[in-house]
Amino acid sequence: MTDDVRGQGGRGDESGPEDVLAVGVLGARGKVGREVCRAVEAAADTRLVAEIDVDDDLEALVRSGARAVVDFTHPDVVMDNLEFCVSHGIHAVVGTTGFDESRLRTLRGWLADSPGTGVLIAPNFSIGAVLMMRFAAAAAPFYESVEIVELHHPDKADAPSGTARHTAELVAAARREAGCAPVPDATSTALEGARGADVEGIRVHGLRIRGLVAHQEVVLGGVGETLTIRHDSLDRASFTPGVLTGLRAIASRPGLTVGLEHLLDLDV
């Protein structure tokens, strides 16, 4: 059994019988939770055994035989959910936000008392977004210039997006480590904002356009050539392959994993 989603286009050969993972979903009646339920039901190697939401008892998880949960709930309740799951040896794949260093420390404490249990906390379950960030950071030291453009629907509250900011930080770190000089920029007169936001020396530009969903482009350039890495999310369902990847991998990764990227075997 593979612990990643490579080959997800469907195996050409017929696989033999495999263990099917019993999965409970926390936040099952939310918009995202419903998509997760659908994906868990549709996948051949996972089975949906419990749909829990705000008014339900967590004990139902135990009764259902769930070996792993997916949690897309709320920062106010996610820690209670995880304490319960870890203490019952139930693995967890978590998309709920709000994890700071203090919460991660608490979580590591609980996991230390429950060896064999694995928890994945991921701010982004899009495999494409993770690949874009990895490739951008890998390529950045080979180029003089790097900038980031993110494009989203106009109802988004923050700019730049969290993914764009995180990409810029990864790119900046990769360049620092390789000893790169700052990106060149001879701008001497500019309208305010024309050169974007500065995230650790990397310029980030945010567009807000009706009709778009979530898109990002990293543009890298050197003498006579450019390399562009672009990720387009066209549908909210795009995060479900990443959740399934997490579920398949987490049982064999005891302890805390932060970030989907650690579960992708890239072979680059």
231 is catalytic: no
Q: How far is the CB of 210 from a copy of itself (least distance, A)?
A: 4
Q: Is 30 annotated as a binding residue?
A: yes
Q: How far is the CB of 3 from a copy of itself (least distance, A)?
A: 13
Q: Is 163 annotated as a binding residue?
A: yes
b/e per residue 87-98 (b: at least 16 CB within 10 A): eeebbbbbbbee
Q: How far is CA 132 from CA 82, 99, 137, 138, 159, in A?
A: 30, 23, 9, 10, 19
Nearest residue (CB) to a copy of itself, 216 versus 257: 216
Q: Is 32 annotated as a binding residue?
A: yes
Catalytic one of 74, 88, 91, 156: 156
Q: How far is the CB of 164 from a copy of itself (least distance, A)?
A: 9
CA 29 to chain CA mean position, Å: 21
Q: Is 179 annotated as a binding residue?
A: no
How long a stretch of residues is the chain?
Answer: 268
CA 73 – CA 53 distance, rounded (Å): 8
Q: Could you write out the DSSP letters of every residue in 26-69? A: ETTTSHHHHHHHHHHHHSTTEEEEEEE-TTS-THHHHHHT-SEE
Q: Is 23 annotated as a binding residue?
A: no
Catalytic one of 152, 205, 215, 231: 152
Q: Give the count of alpha carbons within 13 A of 20, CB side only.
A: 13
Nearest residue (CB) to a copy of itself, 16 versus 193: 193
CA 160 – CA 147 distance, rounded (Å): 13
DSSP label of 183: P
What residues have CB less than 8 Å from 27, skipping those under 6 apart? 33, 52, 53, 71, 72, 73, 74, 96
Nearest residue (CB) to a copy of itself, 87 versus 226: 226
Q: How far is the CB of 37 from a copy of itself (least distance, A)?
A: 16
What residues have CB less than 8 Å from 80, skipping those under 6 apart? none
Q: How far is the CB of 111 from a copy of itself (least distance, A)?
A: 28
Nearest residue (CB) to a copy of itself, 73 versus 233: 233
88 is catalytic: no
Give the number of other Cβ atoms within 10 Å of residue 1's Cβ: 10
Q: Is 187 annotated as a binding residue?
A: no
Nearest residue (CB) to a copy of itself, 1 versus 54: 1
CA 195 – CA 216 distance, rounded (Å): 17
Known binding-site positions for (S)-2,3,4,5-tetrahydrodipicolinate: 153, 162-163
Known binding-site positions: 27-32, 51, 95-97, 122-125, 153, 162-163
Which residue numbers are catalytic?
A: 152, 156
Known binding-site positions for NAD(+): 27-32, 51, 95-97, 122-125
